[in-house]
Amino acid sequence: MTDGSTEQHTVASSRATNGEAGAHRPTAEEAALVRSLGRGPDARSTDRPSGLGTPEWLASTLRHCGRCGSRLAFGRVDGELRERLSCPACGFITYVNPRLVVTTFPITPTGEVVLLRRGIEPARGAWAQPGGFLEVDESVAEGAIRETLEEVGLVVRPGEIVGLYSRLEAGIVTIVFEAEIVGGEARPTPEALEVHAFPPDALPWDGLGFNTTYWALRDWLARRHPEVAVPEMRVPE
pLDDT digits (tens, 9 = 90+) for 5-50: 444 444 444 443 334 445 677 899 998 998 899 988 888 888 888 8
Query: Range(s) for CATH 3.90.79.10 in the chain?
Result: 3-44+98-224
d(CA 214, CA 59): 34
d(CA 55, CA 50): 11
d(CA 12, CA 115): 11
Report field, pTM of the whole predicted structure over 0.85:
no
Percent of the chain with pLDDT over 90: 62
Please give the distance of CA 46 from its chain centroid, rounded to a whole number: 21
pLDDT in tens, the chain (237 residues): 444 444 444 444 444 333 444 567 789 999 899 889 998 888 888 888 888 877 888 777 778 888 999 998 888 888 888 888 899 999 999 888 889 999 999 999 999 999 999 999 999 999 999 999 999 999 999 999 999 999 999 999 999 999 999 988 888 999 999 999 999 999 999 999 999 999 999 999 999 999 899 999 999 999 999 999 999 877 655
Do 31 and 196 meet the contact criterion of CB atoms below 8 Å apart? Answer: no
User: Letter for the amino acid at 43?
Assistant: A
Query: Going by C-beta distance under 8 Å and a sequence separation of 6 or more, which residues neighbour residue 120?
Result: 190, 191
CATH of domain 3-44+98-224: 3.90.79.10
Instruction: Round the CA-based radius of gyration of the chain to a whole number and report it.
Output: 20
